[in-house]
Amino acid sequence: ARAAALEQAAHLLESRSTHFIALLQAEGGKTLDDALSELREAADFCRYYAAQGRKLFGVDAAMPGPTGESNALAMRGRGVFVAISPWNFPLAIFLGQVTAALMAGNSVVAKPAEQTPRIAREAVALLHEAGIPKSALHLVTGDGRIGAVLTAHADIAGIVFTGSTEVARAINRALAAKDGPIVPLIAETGGINAMIADATALPEQVADDVVTSAFRSAGQRCSALRLLFVQDDVADRMIEMIAGAARELKIGDPSDVATHVGPVIDREAKQRLDAHIARMKTEARLHFAGHAPDGCFVAPHIFELKDAGQLTEEVFGPILHVVRYRPETLERVLQAIERTGYGLTLGVHSRIDDTIEAIIDRVQVGNIYVNRNMIGAVVGVQPFGGNGLSGTGPKAGGPHYLARFATEQTVTINTAAAGGNAALLAGEE
């Protein structure tokens, strides 16, 4: 029944796509292509978790054992899950968290980001219409203080969270301080995501993939590129091409189909980004500065740093930081990435297989993209989630995700005590 309800929710989402796309544009500031992609991702989550749930929860797994005994392993829900979701994917991540927790047999209290409550309300109403009982899914709106009250509640059985590393730490501390059962925290946080482009990379492809990875969605993706390492032999040419491609981006009204870069989420976000840009103008070399219209807009910027250590935190907007490196110092580049403590996404542009394989073997990063852009993970194809300061795992949209929302129960029955094993007598074993 749970799986059928999720599949019905996907159908309802798609049948009302224009309504939800308009909501994503109005409340979330999404461009048309971003809104459409998010709607498809939300539907994919519903269908994927329904399919995975049928495998995991449909039939108990028979375990080996001696004749005269049956052993079965079952997955069961934990209880009440609190789902705390972000504003940057207010439909897809919200529904991904909620549907996973529901499919695993839990009831859910969903707390969306304070900036995007209407999208959450519509999504919850859609799930109720699709067949999820109202008693199993509740919506609570408000700011971070509401989230803190929910996470501290004695009766919750788990928390699924997507947002900043700072808030994830606060939730982790709150859970550790509570008496009672030890409950899971499933967290996906951010990252100082890097891309490495060596001298063998195709410059046109690098320029296209960098601009997409750094500036699409106004840089407001957990997976977005923040730090580009370019081999110094080709750095001048590549930076020039990237700046040229960025110059062609149209910034403005997200409801205009020609817009590439829409607004940042609110005034507070704009102020933080403007302050970072002002600081970078005094500490780094400016290669490109776009023009932003009035309102909550931040234009793409490209700065060159002397050292990767100058970028000490995730900058959640359309700002790219570039560092040159010499080929013999590639290990130092990997050490610099490692020192950030994050491990969410990494891009590699190279036509040398040994280089690619060496980088993949060396880094602890959740999602690595080779010779392509590094955003837009597809549900069931590129399970998404990071390591270290970037999250706890398991990966959303992957085969191991649902199990974290559940407990396991083993049932052993002495069948001989009931007069023998009927299956054995019937010749079925």
Burial 17-54 (b: 16+ CB within 10 A, else e): eeebbebbbebbbbbbebbebbbbbbbbbbbbbbebbe
Q: Is 380 helix (H, G, I), strand (E, B) or coil?
A: coil
Closest CA to 3 of 47, 68, 33: 47
222 is catalytic: yes
46 is catalytic: no
The pair phi, psi for residue 188, each rounded to 5°, is -120, 115
Residues in the chain: 429
Q: In angstroms, how far is CA 145 from the centroid of its own chain?
A: 23
Q: In angstroms, how far is CA 244 from the centroid of its own chain?
A: 30
Beta bridge partners, 289, equal: 301
* DSSP E strand stretches across 78-223: 80-84, 107-111, 137-139, 158-162, 185-188, 194-197
- The catalytic position among 7, 27, 38, 188 is 188
- The catalytic position among 41, 222, 296, 314 is 222
Q: Is 374 helix (H, G, I), strand (E, B) or coil?
A: coil
Closest CA to 337 of 188, 166, 192: 192
Closest CA to 158 of 417, 392, 399, 340: 392
Active site members: 188, 222
